[in-house]
């Protein structure tokens, strides 16, 4: 089966939205310790790096690896593949995700991270696909609400490919 990518969100659209989100996070930040920005590997890496540079508040970065997806279908089972490597007890934290789809990954992350007793724990996602929601998760900062498409680029992959695209496209399969 042949596959191709149709343009969906341009580099410019994404940049405008990321700057807006950075401003929103900055306005809500009131802690006296650096904000802990948690990058959910691997799909969020590009968004994370851009968002970090739009914040202009003191930050510490941390990385969390999770796996749940095979191909274009969620397996439903979420597991940790890499842990934070820092204590977030008493800290103001933001989970930075590329996309909230079924919500299973985010709900797992929230439960896991809340048990470590951060002072605050907020959720920031570039994309939200409400049609596919299986679990409701609180989202504090959302970039784009999108229809039920499988999207790639700007860090998001299909079988580890397309992360390097500077825009976001919809993956299509043809015979």
Task: Please identify every residue annotated as catalytic.
Answer: 101
Q: How many CB atoms lie within 10 A of CB 59?
A: 16
Strand pairing report for 141-145 and 120-128: parallel
Sheet of 141-145, strands arranged across: 73-82, 59-70, 35-41, 92-100, 120-128, 141-145
Listed ranges 22-30, 46-54, 57-65, 95-103: which one lies at the site for ligand IMP (CB under 6 A) = 95-103
* The binder of ligand IMP chosen from 8, 63, 69, 141 (CB under 6 A): 69
* The binder of ligand IMP chosen from 25, 50, 105, 122 (CB under 6 A): 105
37 within 8 A of 94, measured Cβ to Cβ: yes
* The binder of ligand IMP chosen from 13, 54, 59, 74 (CB under 6 A): 74
Q: The dihedral of CA 104, 158, 162, 42: what is its sign?
A: positive
Q: Which helix (H) or strand (E) holds 49?
A: helix 45-55
* Number of residues this chain uses to bind ligand IMP (CB under 6 A): 18
Does 103 help bind ligand IMP (rule: CB under 6 A)? yes
Does 98 help bind ligand IMP (rule: CB under 6 A)? yes
Does 38 help bind ligand IMP (rule: CB under 6 A)? no
Does 109 help bind ligand IMP (rule: CB under 6 A)? no
What are the two backbone dihedrals, phi and then psi, of residue 138, each rounded to the nearest 5 degrees?
A: -70, 130
Does 68 help bind ligand IMP (rule: CB under 6 A)? yes
60 within 8 A of 34, measured Cβ to Cβ: yes
* The binder of ligand IMP chosen from 93, 109, 121, 151 (CB under 6 A): 151
- Interaction site with ligand IMP (CB under 6 A): 43, 68-69, 74, 97-106, 150-152, 156
């Amino acid at each position: 089966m042949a596959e191709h990518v149709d343009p969906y969100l341009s580099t410019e659209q994404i940049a405008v939205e990321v700057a807006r989100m950075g401003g929103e996070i900055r306005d809500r930040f009131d802690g006296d310790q650096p904000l802990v920005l948690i990058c959910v590997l691997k799909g969020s890496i590009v968004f994370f790096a851009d968002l970090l540079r739009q914040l202009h508040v003191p930050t510490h970065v941390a990385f969390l690896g999770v796996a749940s997806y095979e191909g274009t279908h969620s397996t439903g089972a979420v597991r940790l593949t890499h842990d934070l490597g820092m204590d977030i007890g008493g800290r103001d934290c933001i989970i930075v995700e590329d996309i909230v789809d079924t919500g299973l990954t985010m709900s797992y992350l929230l439960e896991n991270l809340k048990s470590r007793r951060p002072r605050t724990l907020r959720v920031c996602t570039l994309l939200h696909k409400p049609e596919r929601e299986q679990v409701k998760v609180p989202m504090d900062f959302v970039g784009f609400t999108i229809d039920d498409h499988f999207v790639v680029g700007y860090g998001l992959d299909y079988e580890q490919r397309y992360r390097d695209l500077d825009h976001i496209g919809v993956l299509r399969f043809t015979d």
